[in-house]
Structure 1
Amino acid sequence: MKKILKGLLIAVLLLVIGIPLIALGGYTIYGLVARGSASPEHMHYLAQHQEAFATNAPEAFKLFDKAFYQNQIFLLGESHGSAAPQELDFALLKHLNAKTGLRNYMAEIDPSQAYYFNTYLQTGDEQNLRVAFQPWINSAQWGNTGFYNKIKQIRALNASLPDSAKIRFIGIDRLQDLTVTSQYVRTLLQAAQYKAGTLAPLDTLQQLLVAQPDSDKVLSTCARRLERELGRVPQAYRAALGPQYADVAHLVHNITYLHPRVRRDSVMSLNLQAEYERKHLGQEKLYGLWGVYHVLQGPINKTMPLAALLKNADQPYHHKVVSLPIFSLESETLMPTGAIPAAIRPATPYVALDWVNQDGPMVFVQGLKDLAEVSPTSNLTLFKLDAPNSPYQHSRLMLDIKAPLFGQTMSATKPNAVTTDYAQYAFLIRHSKALEPLLKK
C-alpha cells in the first residue's frame, strides 16, 4: 500500500512540475517559429533602403521620394502605449505641413472631440482639451501626457504658420463618449442661439443625450426620426440652427450608427467621405496616427481596416493612400492592468511593461528580425518597402502579428497577399519609454 501511495505521489509531482515545463517548452518553440529566421535577401534590400535619424533632425525623412508626397492620405500606425510614436507623429506632421502644405490631421477621435481639439488650437483654453480627453482618462491608452502635450505642440506650431497652413483636426471615429457628445450638442445649440421648444425632435434628442439611456437603440431611433425631419423640412432646421446646421446634421447621422451598431472602421470611412464633401477637401492632403490595424490596406482576419476601405472607396483619394506601420524593440509599453489577476494586480489602472515588443515574448512579427539586424543601434529607422525589385513585393513578411497570450492575432487574409499590398514604409523604434497616464485634475 505504501508503495502504491508513493507511486501516486511521485506521479502527481511529475504532473505538477512536468505540465508547466512542457507548456513552456511548447510556447518557446512557438515563439521561435513565429519570429522566423533572418532573410539575407530582405536584409540586403533593407540595407539599401533605410534611413536612421532623430525626430528633431532638420534633414529627417530624406528616404521619402517624389511619389510619396503625391499621395493624399498618409497613415502612421502604432501599437498604442509607447512614447516614441507620439514624438514621431508630431515630427512627421510638421514635415508634411512644411513640404506639402498638409493641414488636415485626420485623427482617431470622434467629431465631438475634434471640435474641442480645434477650439483649443484656436483659443489656447486647455479646458477644451480636458473635455476631449475625459473619456480616455483611466480607461484608454490615448489618455496620456504624450498625446496631450503633442496637441500643445501643434498649437505652438500653428502660431508660426499662416492661416491657410494651420493644422486642424478632422474627427472620423465612432462616437466615443455620450457625455462629450451631449456637451458638444449643447455648445452648438448655444452658438446657434437655439430656443428650446422650437423643434420638438431636436429637443427630444438633446434630452436623451443628457439622460444617456441604457439602450443605444432608443438614442439611434430618435436620431433617425430627427434625420427624417431634417430631410422633410430642412428650411425650418436651417433657420433655427444657422451656421451650426451642418455640424448638427453630421452629428445626428453619427448617432444613427450606434444601433444597429455599424462596424467601427466602416464608420471611419463613411465619416471621411462625409467630411470630404462637406469641407470641400478636393485635393487637400490628410494625415493621422492610428492603431496599426487601421492603417493596413488589405483585409485582416477577413475584416476591412480603415485604410483598406479607403483604397476601395469611390472617391478621388482611393489610389493615393500610403501606410507606415511602426514596430518596436527593447521598448516599454503602457498597458491596462484590468486583465491582470486581481490577487497580483497593481493599484494603478496602467503599468509600464518591457515585454510586449514585437520580437516576443508576448507579441511576434515574422520578418522583424531583418529590420533589427540591419539597424542594430538606431533608436529610429525608416524603411522603404516598395522600391523597384523589393522582395516585399513577393513575400508576406510583417503581415502577421501574433499575440496568443492576449488572444489578439492579426493575419492578412487577402488571397496571395504580399507586404506591399498592405504597407509601403515601416518604422522601427528602439529604447522608447512608456507613455505616462494623464491624471484627473
Structure 2
Amino acid sequence: MLRVTELISYDVTHLSQNTMQSFYRFWRSEGMVNRKKFKHLEKNMRNSRPQKHITIFICLLLIIFVASGCSNKSTEKASSSYDEVNNFLEENHANVDISNYGYNNRFSILDSDIDKNNIILAGETHAVAKNYELELTLLKHLNQKNKIRYLLAEMGYSDSCYINEYLETGDEAKLKLFYNTFEGTAVWSKESYDFWIELRKYNLTIPEDQRIQVVGIDIEFNAIAALDYLTTIWPSTAPPKEIKLAIEKYTSSYNLKSQDTITAIKNLQSDMVANPDIYNTYLGSKYFDVSIVIDNVVNFINASASNGANSEDIRELSMYSNLKRVYSHLPIGKYFGQFGMEHVFQRTCSSYMGDKTRFAMYLNSSDSPVKGKVLSIAYGYENCTFMNSRQNNNESVAESPIKDIDLLNKYSKSDTTIFKLNGDNSPFSRITAFVKGSSGGSTTDYFQYIILIKNSKGTIPLGKL
C-alpha cells in the first residue's frame, strides 16, 4: 500500500480499483469515512483535471487525518497491512511431500490445534487425484502424532461397515460390494479404491488398538445396498410378538419404488422409536447399526422426495445427527474427515448452498458435544483437473473453493503446501481473505487452515471390477 509521502507525487487516476478499496478498508477500520463518502471522493478524483486531482486528493487526506486525530503510526498501519499478511504467511506455512502416501512430519504445523479440537474437517473439490494422497498422508500424521483413529466419511453408515470389514479381513469382495453401487459417481475411481488398499496396509503396521476405523455419517444414498447390508446382520431368530408385524412388513420387500415398501420402512423406524427396549434386546449388539441405517434410508427417501427443495437441509442435519450418535456410541476419541468443501465451512457464504446451515456450522451449535472444538481446513487448487462424472468421466478444470490463490503461490515451493491462518496476532482473524462471497466476519470464522494443491490430474475411472 502507498504511503502518504508517495501519494504527493502519484497520479491517482492510475490507482487500481483494488488499491482504492485498500484505502477505503483502512479508513473505515479507523472510523474515518463511510462507503458513500468514499465513492464520492473516488469519483471526484477520477473526474477532475490532472492538474487538480492530486491537490484534491492530498487535501482530502489531510482533512481526514487531522479530523480523526490519526498519528503517523496509523498511517504506517495502512501501508504495512499487506506486509503483515505476507509476513504471517511466510512464518506459518510448510511445503509437504505427499507422494507415495508417506508419513510427513511437516504437518506438525497442525499439532497444537489438533490438541485443542475434537473434530478436524478438510474440504476438497471431489475427484482430484491428489486428494487421496493428501488424505492418507495427513491421516497417517494425525494417527501417529495425535492418536486419531476415527475417519469420518462422506458415505452412509452401511457403506462404512463394508469398508471396515475389508480393512479387518482383507476380503476385497467387501470392498467391491461398496464400489459396485457407485459406478457413474465421483467415488468410482482407481484412486479412491486404492486409498482403502493403502489404508489397510498401513493399519497392519500399527497396534490393533490404534488402527483406523471408518465412520460413515451421510444419508444412505444407495438405499437398496443399505437394506441388503441389514439382511446380513438381521437376527435369524423370530422377533417378539410386539414388533413382529412391523419387521415382517419391512422384510417382505426391498423395492424402494413401491410406496408399500417405503411405508413399511418408515413404520419400522417409528416402531423402533416406540419400542427401543424390545428392539435393543432382539437386535443385541447390532441395534445401533440397524437403527442408524434405517434412519438414514428414511432420510434419503425424504431428501429424494423433496426434489431438491430442501434436500441439502435434510442431508446436513442428518450428518450432524449421525455424528452426535456415533460420538456418544464409540469409545472417546478425535475424528478426522475429508468432505466436499461445502460441508466444511463454519459460516455461510455465497457458494451453492448459500445461506443454508452447513455440517461444520451445526457442529458449533449450542447443543453440539463438540461446540468450539472444530477445526476446518480448506483445500485450494491451482492448475488441477477433476474427473467429471457428469460428462462421461472426462477431465475438467477443477474449480478452487477458495480465492486469492496468487497470495499463496509466493510461498508454495511444492505441489502441496499447508498454511496456518489462525493464532496470535493473525491478520486473518481480522480480515476476510480467501473466502468466495463471504457473509462478513473474518477468514478464520470460515476455516483455520488452507492446503494448496497444485498440478494434479483428475482421478481415473475405476473400470470393471
Query: Structures share a fold, TM > 0.5?
Result: yes
Structure 1 position 45, deviation (Å): 2.2
Structure 1 position 395, deviation (Å): 1.8
Partner deviation per Cα, 1:289-346 (whole Å, 9 max, x = no partner): 10011111112311111111101152331111101111111222211344xxxxxxxx
Residue in 1 aligned with 2:337? 288
CA distance in 1, matches of 2:252, 2:328: 30
CA contact (8 A) 2:125 2:398 kept: no
Residue 120 in 1 paired to residue 166 in 2? yes
In the alignment, which of 356, 370, 373 is matched to residue 407 of structure 2?
370
CA contact (8 A) 2:95 2:417 kept: yes
In the alignment, which of 430, 434, 444 is matched to residue 420 of structure 1?
444
Bigger mean CA offset, 180-189 vs 249-258: 249-258
Residue in 2 aligned with 1:227? 269
Partner deviation per Cα, 1:370-421 (whole Å, 9 max, x = no partner): 011332x421110001122222112222110xxxxxxxxxx333xx321100
Residue in 1 aligned with 2:59? none
Partner deviation per Cα, 1:117-147 (whole Å, 9 max, x = no partner): 1111111111111111223212x11211111
SS at match of 1:135: coil
Structure 1 position 57, deviation (Å): 5.5
Residue in 1 aligned with 2:206? 161
Q: Is the alpha carbon distance of 1:219 and 1:314 closer, same or farther for their aligned partners in structure 2, counting shifts above 3 Å?
A: farther
TM-score by length of 2: 0.74
Identity over aligned residues, as a percent? Answer: 26
Residue in 2 aligned with 1:350? 393
SS at match of 1:302: coil
Counterpart amino acid of residue 330 in structure 1:
N
Counterpart amino acid of residue 223 in structure 1:
I
Q: Is the alpha carbon distance of 1:125 and 1:142 closer, same or farther for their aligned partners in structure 2, counting shifts above 3 Å?
A: same
Counterpart amino acid of residue 372 in structure 1:
N
Residue in 2 aligned with 1:344? none
Counterpart amino acid of residue 169 in structure 1:
V
SS at match of 1:352: strand
Residue in 2 aligned with 1:213? 257
Residue in 1 aligned with 2:421? 385
Counterpart amino acid of residue 273 in structure 1:
K
Residue in 2 aligned with 1:242? 284
CA distance in 1, matches of 2:183, 2:295: 27
What pairs with 1:46-195 in structure 2 (closer than 5 Å)?
46-55=89-98, 56=102, 58-138=104-184, 140-189=185-234, 192-195=235-238
CA distance in 2, matches of 1:91, 1:65: 15
CA distance in 1, matches of 2:105, 2:270: 53
CA distance in 1, matches of 2:264, 2:343: 30
CA contact (8 A) 1:326 1:429 kept: yes
In the alignment, which of 291, 310, 316 is matched to residue 265 of structure 1?
316
CA RMSD after TM alignment? 2.5
CA contact (8 A) 1:72 1:317 kept: yes
CA distance in 2, matches of 1:365, 1:76: 13
Partner deviation per Cα, 1:183-216 (whole Å, 9 max, x = no partner): 1111111xx22448972212222334x212255x
CA distance in 2, matches of 1:120, 1:143: 17
SS at match of 1:395: coil
Structure 1 position 51, deviation (Å): 0.4
Q: Is the alpha carbon distance of 1:394 and 1:255 closer, same or farther for their aligned partners in structure 2, counting shifts above 3 Å?
A: same
Q: Is the alpha carbon distance of 1:271 and 1:365 closer, same or farther for their aligned partners in structure 2, counting shifts above 3 Å?
A: closer
CA contact (8 A) 2:299 2:318 kept: yes
Structure 1 position 234, deviation (Å): 4.0
Counterpart amino acid of residue 186 in structure 1:
T
TM-score by length of 1: 0.78
Counterpart amino acid of residue 290 in structure 2:
V
Using CA pairs below 8 Å that are at least 6 residues apart, which structure has the higher relative contact order? 1
Residue in 2 aligned with 1:440? 464
Residue 316 in 1 paired to residue 369 in 2? yes
Residue in 1 aligned with 2:61? none
Counterpart amino acid of residue 183 in structure 1:
D
CA contact (8 A) 2:429 2:442 kept: yes
In the alignment, which of 384, 409, 417 is matched to residue 331 of structure 1?
384
* Number of residue pairs the alignment of both structures matches: 371
SS at match of 2:151: strand
Counterpart amino acid of residue 322 in structure 1:
L
Q: Is the alpha carbon distance of 1:201 and 1:420 closer, same or farther for their aligned partners in structure 2, counting shifts above 3 Å?
A: same
Which protein has the larger Cα radius of gyration, Structure 1 or Structure 2?
A: 2
CA distance in 2, matches of 1:365, 1:122: 37
CA distance in 2, matches of 1:274, 1:160: 30
CA distance in 2, matches of 1:152, 1:100: 23
The structure with the largest helix share of the pair is 2
CA contact (8 A) 1:382 1:425 kept: yes
Q: Is the alpha carbon distance of 1:156 and 1:366 closer, same or farther for their aligned partners in structure 2, counting shifts above 3 Å?
A: closer
For structure 2, the 5+ residue unaligned runs are: 1-16, 23-80, 304-312
Q: Is the alpha carbon distance of 1:219 and 1:101 closer, same or farther for their aligned partners in structure 2, counting shifts above 3 Å?
A: farther
Structure 1 position 43, deviation (Å): 2.8
CA contact (8 A) 2:111 2:146 kept: no
In the alignment, which of 245, 255, 275 is matched to residue 200 of structure 1?
245
SS at match of 2:378: strand
- After TM superposition, what 4+ stretches of structure 1 lie above 6 angstroms from structure 2? none
CA contact (8 A) 2:104 2:137 kept: no
Residue in 2 aligned with 1:6? none
CA distance in 2, matches of 1:182, 1:306: 25
Counterpart amino acid of residue 266 in structure 1:
L
Counterpart amino acid of residue 343 in structure 2:
H
Q: Is the alpha carbon distance of 1:305 and 1:115 closer, same or farther for their aligned partners in structure 2, counting shifts above 3 Å?
A: same
CA contact (8 A) 2:103 2:140 kept: no
